[in-house]
Structure 1
Amino acid sequence: MKTNFRDIQKIIDHIEINFDREITAHEIESISYYSYRNFQRIFFKLFNETISGFQKRLRLENAYKKLIYTEDSLSEIAWQVGYFNIQSFSKAFKKQYTVSPAEARKQKQDIFKEFIESHNADLKVEIKYKDAVSVYCKFIKAKDYNNAEIDVLWKEIEPDAELFEAAYGIIRDQPLITSHSHCRYGAAVTSNEVISGLVKNEIFGRKYAKFTHQGPYENILETYRSFYQSWLSGEKFLLDNSDVIEEYETAEITHIYFPLYE
Structure 2
Amino acid sequence: MIQEKTISYYHQKASEVLQYINNNIGSDLNIRYLAERFHISFYHFHRIMRAFLDEPLGEYINRVRLETAVSLLKYSSEPLSVIAGNIGYADLSSFSKAFSKEFGISPIECRNDQSLVLNTHIDYRMNSERKIIVQLKPKIITLPDKKVCYIHVIGKYGSDEVQKAWDELEEFSKRNKLSGWRPGFFAIYYDDPDIVDPALCSSDVCIATKKDLKEEGRIKFKTIKGEKCMVFRYKGPYEQLWDIYEYIYKDWIIKTDHTLRDLPTFEKYLNFLPQTKPENLLTEIYIPIE
Q: TM-score, normalised by structure 1?
A: 0.54
State whether structure 2 residue 50 is matched by structure 1 residue 111. yes
1:249 match: 270
Gaps of 5+ in 2: 1-9, 17-23, 57-126, 273-280
Aligned partner (choices 143, 150, 153) of residue 165 of structure 2: 153
Query: Do 2:48 and 2:254's aligned partners in 1 also have CA atoms closer than 8 Å?
Result: no
Distance 2:191 2:31 in 1: 20
- 1:134-188 Cα distance to aligned partner (Å, 9 max, x none): 1111111122x23433222212221499773221111122334434333111111
- CA distance in 2 between partners of 1:98 and 1:247 (Å): 28
Of 221, 234, 237, which residue of structure 1 is paired with 2:258? 237
- 1:89-100 paired onto structure 2 within 5 Å: 94-95=27-28, 97=30
Of residues 181-190 and 108-117 in structure 1, the stretch that sits farther from structure 2 once superposed is: 108-117
Q: Runs of 5+ in structure 1 lacking a partner?
A: 1-67, 75-90
> Do residues 123 (structure 1) and 136 (structure 2) align?
yes
**Residue 124 of structure 1: how far off its partner (Å):** 0.7
Partner of residue 123, structure 2: none
Structure 1 residue 196: Cα displacement: 1.8
2:47–2:246 CA contact under 8 A, matched in 1 = no
Question: Which residue does 1:77 correspond to in 2?
Answer: none
Residue type at the aligned position of 1:244: T
Task: Check whether the contact 2:48–2:249 (CA below 8 A) recurs between aligned residues.
Answer: no
| Maintained 8 Å contact 1:119/1:225 | no
Deviations 1:91-137 (A, max 9, x none): 9xx52528973589799854342379763163111111000101111
Could you say which residue in structure 2 is the equivalent of 1:258? 287
Q: Which runs of 4+ in 1 moved over 6 A?
A: 103-108, 160-163
Report the structure number with the largest CA radius of gyration.
Answer: 2
TM-score after normalising by structure 2: 0.49
Shift in CA distance, 185/100, structure 1 to aligned 2, threshold 3 Å: closer
Q: Distance in 1 between matches of 2:269 and 2:198?
A: 24
Which residue among 167, 175, 189 is the counterpart of 1:171? Answer: 189
Q: Which secondary structure state, in structure 2, belongs to the residue aligned with residue 237 of structure 1?
A: coil
Alpha-carbon contact 2:269-2:283 (below 8 Å) kept = yes
Deviation at 1:205, TM superposition (A): 0.7
Q: Is the 8 A contact 2:190 2:203 kept in 1?
A: yes
The SS at the match of 2:28 is helix
Query: After the TM superposition, which residues 56-95 of structure 1 pair with which residues of structure 2 at under 5 Å, given as runs?
Result: 94-95=27-28
Partner of 1:140 in structure 2? 153
